Structures are given as C-alpha cells and as structure tokens.
Amino acid sequence: MTNPHDQRVARRSAELDAQLAANGRDHPDTLRAQHRLAHAYRAARRFDEALRWFDQAAEGSARAYGLEHLETLRYRSSLANCHYAAGHINVAIDMFDDLFEARRDALGEDHPDTLRSRGSLANALHAVGRFDEAARLHLRNAGDRAEALGRQHPSTEASLRNLARAVRDAGADTA
C-alpha cells in the first residue's frame, strides 16, 4: 500500500491532468490544481517538485492576472514559504521582502496578508541570524496586529512570541 502522501500526490496530479485537458494552461482552475499539487508535494517533503509546481502556478497567474493580483500574490507566498521549508533561506528572504511590499501596495499596511508577509520576512531573517532586523519587524508586526486584530488574537500572540525570541537571540548574540 502506498503512503498517504503518495496517494494525495497521485490524486492531485490526476486532477491537474484533467484541468489541463479541459481548460488549458492558464485557466484559473488549472492554476489552482497546480497549486494544490504543489502543496501535496510539499507535504510529502518533495521540495523540488513542490517548487516547480508553485513556480508554475505563480507564473501562470502572473500571465493571466498580473504580478500584483491577489491570487498571484497567494501563489508567490506559497512559493516563498516552500523555499523557506526547503532550506533556501536567502531566496525566501528576497521573496518575502518583495511579497511584503507588493501586498502592502495592493492591500494596505494593516491587511492580515500584509502582516503575515512581514512576519514571514522577520522569521526568515531570524533564521539566518539577523536578529536585530527580525526584532524590529516583529515589534512592528505585533503592534499592527494588536491594533488590527486585537491583543488576544492568535496571530498577535504569535508575533509577540516571535518578538520575544528575536530580542532574546539578539541579546545572546551580543553577549
């Protein structure tokens, strides 16, 4: 019997094949199927395949809708997160930085997706030892999330935990 991850990849691959046959390469349903297949590969920790499909979904969405379209931004976010999970931290930092700016321009400073992108950038900076930069971004994120979502919101609490970790590590780095 195959494992659940392989089964999911097989189902998502068949779904994509059906969408390609029915709708072509840049149809919204085909792009969503590519995105779901990429997530299946990521869950299976098959990062090369996941990155390939996340990239194709993001590029197809950019062709169909434009680089700053909300769906394209979502696919770009998945691609950046997969790079991070695969250990390509510096690539992820550049992508999270671009994504944060694009979401801020498209959605505004306080939109939850913008705040999530800033938090992802801060986490990636922390991962490469850039603790002071990470702490500054987490501080801003914690304040903005508290204002936009409330102090007790899980995302605000996560930002506060991340801030505490970055401040601790920044202090340990200078000690």
* Residues 52 and 131 reside in one and the same domain: no
Q: What is the pTM of this model?
A: 0.92
What is residue 175's predicted lDDT score, i.e. its pLDDT? 55
Quote the CA–CA distance of 146 and 87 in Å, as a whole number.
30
* Residues 12 and 25 reside in one and the same domain: yes
CATH number at 49 reads: 1.25.40.10
* Residues 134 and 164 reside in one and the same domain: yes
Specify whether the CB–CB gap between 125 and 153 falls below 8 A: no
Burial of 118 (0-12, 13-18, 19+ CB in 10 A): buried
Instruction: Please state whether 46 falls in left (phi above 0), alpha (psi between -120 and 50) or beta.
Output: beta
* Residues 64 and 123 reside in one and the same domain: no
Boundaries of domain holding 142:
88-175
* Residues 5 and 26 reside in one and the same domain: yes
* Residues 38 and 112 reside in one and the same domain: no
Q: pLDDT digits over 31-68, tens only?
A: 999 999 999 999 999 999 999 999 999 999 999 999 99
